[in-house]
Structure 1
Amino acid sequence: MYTECINLFCPAVKHSLKYIVTASSGLPDLPEFVVAAVVDENPLFYCDSSKKILELKHDWVKKVLENDPHQLEFYKRACFGWLPSYFKDTINGLKQRFNQSGGVHILQKMNGCEWDNETGEILGFNQFGYDGEDFISIDLKTETWIAPKPQAVTTKLRWDADKARMKYNQKYSTEFYPEWLKIYLAYGRSFLLRTELPSVSLLQKTPSSPVSCLATGFYPHRASLVWRKDGEELHEEVDHGEILPNHDGTFQMSVDLDLSSVTPEDWTRYDCVFQLSGVKEDIITKLEKDRIRTNWGTSEIILGKKK
């Protein structure tokens, strides 16, 4: 099923614009510097240090940049200006602080904003991670930086004292980024504000394995998938997977149910329920043996019925 939101303010959800910058050291087969922009987890553009072009993911993104020279210039500076060398120098400095002489090291930055289109609330963020752990992040309310590691304290003190830097972050996080986010949602309405319902399948590797309920092909990513018993959501004996992207821009997720202590007679008391933001009807798939696709037998995938 595919539907498009009639206007920008439907349904009431939080939207996000994120800029993800990744710099690496010690990985010869990968670019040393990469920038990506995403709206509601959908890629807008990508560039890296080995490609001197902005790789736009949609035609409507090109239209936005053609009509907004400020954005285009901002992205060119991020991809081809001083930022790549700045991140490279920063990694070298961090290696010294952490007493690291070689090996593989990753420095990441994620900044942007979230916008609640019902309340109008805007949340700006700007955070850095080093080698997979939080390094430093901004607190726009107190206008200070948070340093969870001793090695970040020097950076915190220097950046706290840099009022121009804080003003710059405030301006972009609370004014420019929300404005750009709304523009993207308007230009990319048919893609970003669409609704796609998934196919739901029950999978089992072996007779003793958990039964996995898999929902794939849904959009947006704001969704939930749970197992219920007698209509009550289960929290024990279940294992929730992460929401993952598909190659076509949709998403998938799964939740496993351990049936080792459940008798065959009680199977009919269980069902898997998928809920998608903005959609009133749930997709409910009952736990029945002939609905399960296995690696040890042959059976059809039967999609859950809407109730």
Structure 2
Amino acid sequence: MALYLVFNCVCLFACSERHTFTITYTEINGQTIARIPEVSAVATLDGLQIDYYDSVRKKLIPKQDWVAIESRNIWKDYTEIREQVRQINKINITVLMQQLNQSHGVHVYQRMYGCVWDYKTNDSDGFDQHGYDGEDFITLDLKKLRYNSPVPQGIPIVQKWNNDSQQLQLLKQYCEQDRIDWIKYFLELGKDALERKGMSPLVSLVQKNSSSPVVCHATGFYPSEVNITWLRNGEEHYEDVELGELLPNEDRTFQKTSTLSIYPDEWKKHQYVCVVEHKTGTIQKNLTEDEIRSNKSKLIIKCYNAILFSLLILPVNFLYFIFIENVTIPALSTWWLFCE
């Protein structure tokens, strides 16, 4: 079955405009905990697990029914790709340990890459992050088509990759076309199971105790686009505000938080309002004692395996230990090694 299909201009995912496809490889060198694979590969679409591969089973496992019905030949091909990437990653981490003068111990190399695509505008953006031992190591600036490293040890590798113009052009094509085709492919494949109407967020103000920051928590909404802001006496307020990550729920809805760190005396003297803007409408919560739910309240926060799935969509430096059953698609992981 051909990978690149011709799609009509339809409202995929029931008019959700932006879609994110993410792939994560995790390679562990050294003695691991029992039953934890040396290599695992994960793919998600809008936070939903697609498939899984690891070096123990050496088998590509679909994690959605609508994925499982796909041609077995494709799964066979991509199982082979996972195995190729596993072998290359094993070389990568070995070379990296040598460059860092590390001869023993447990070390983790990860690559998380993917694409964000807006079906209405056809705009796209990509990301490619490499991590080592829980820290960011190399990242891609897709607009400039250049790799960067926040650590001195990564500079020689970045220079080598950036000097390979042919591979950079292949990367550009992969980010702007191939990954988008994969998003369209999976959206079309699972549209019957994934289509849904817009769902309004449930908004709550949460506080651990009287001196803790106040969290504005929005959950249960779909699609994922949401804007959370704080107002102070009717004007937008950005000081002492920390916006949380967008997280998926197990029912394929989403949740997000915005934390306001001020003393109770401050918000009692002024009017603070949390404003949640979503496709389904705007919800406002006035910051008052009656509105706040403490840790003794019966607040139900929908989470999708809170730690594992949260880690899955955070930056590489938070992806230290991801061992969940997912998989990847053909990656450029099969091209550059860390050294000649």
TM-score, structure 2 normalization: 0.71
Q: Which amino acid aligns with 2:64?
A: H
The aligned amino acid for 2:23 is: Y
**More strand, by proportion:** 1
Q: CA deviation at 1:154?
A: 4.3
The Cα of 1:198 is off from its aligned counterpart by: 2.8
Structure 1 unmatched runs, 5+ = 1-5, 303-307
Moved more, 176-185 or 206-215: 206-215
The 5 Å alignment of 1:87-236 reads 87-137=89-139, 145-146=147-148, 149-156=151-158, 158-159=160-161, 165-166=167-168, 168-190=170-192, 192=194, 194=196, 195-236=198-239
The answer (yes or no) to whether the contact 1:35–1:78 under 8 Å persists in 2 is no
**Partner Cα separation in structure 1 for residue 239 and residue 125 of structure 2:** 34
Residue matched to 1:255? 258
Measure the CA separation in 1 of the matches of 2:84 and 2:114.
20
2:71 corresponding residue in structure 1: 66
Deviations 1:99-152 (A, max 9, x none): 122333221112332222222233344442222344345566776654554434
Query: Residue by residue, what CA displacement relative to the aligned partner does 1:278-298 show, whole Å, maximum 9, x if unpaired?
Result: 33x1122222323322246xx
**Conserved 8 A contact 2:267-2:287:** no
CA distance in 2, matches of 1:271, 1:140: 37
* 1:244 aligned onto 2:247: yes
**Code of the aligned partner of 1:18:** T
Q: Which runs of 5+ in 2 are unaligned?
A: 1-9, 301-340
Please report how far the alpha carbon of residue 33 of structure 1 lies from its aligned counterpart in structure 2 after TM superposition: 0.7
Deviates more, 1:46-55 or 1:144-153: 144-153
Please state if 1:45 is matched with 2:47. Answer: no
Residues 40 and 192 of structure 1 are in contact (CA less than 8 Å); yes or no, is this contact kept in structure 2? no
What is the Cα-based RMSD across aligned positions, in Å?
3.2
Structure label with greater radius of gyration: 1
2:24 equivalent in structure 1: 20
Query: Percent identity, aligned pairs only?
Result: 37
Corresponding pairs, count: 287
SS at match of 1:254: strand
Q: Which moved more, 1:191-200 or 1:26-35?
A: 191-200
Residue 91 of structure 1 and its aligned partner are, at CA, apart by 0.7
Which residue is equivalent to 2:282?
A: 282
TM-score by length of 1: 0.77
Distance 1:212 1:144 in 2: 38
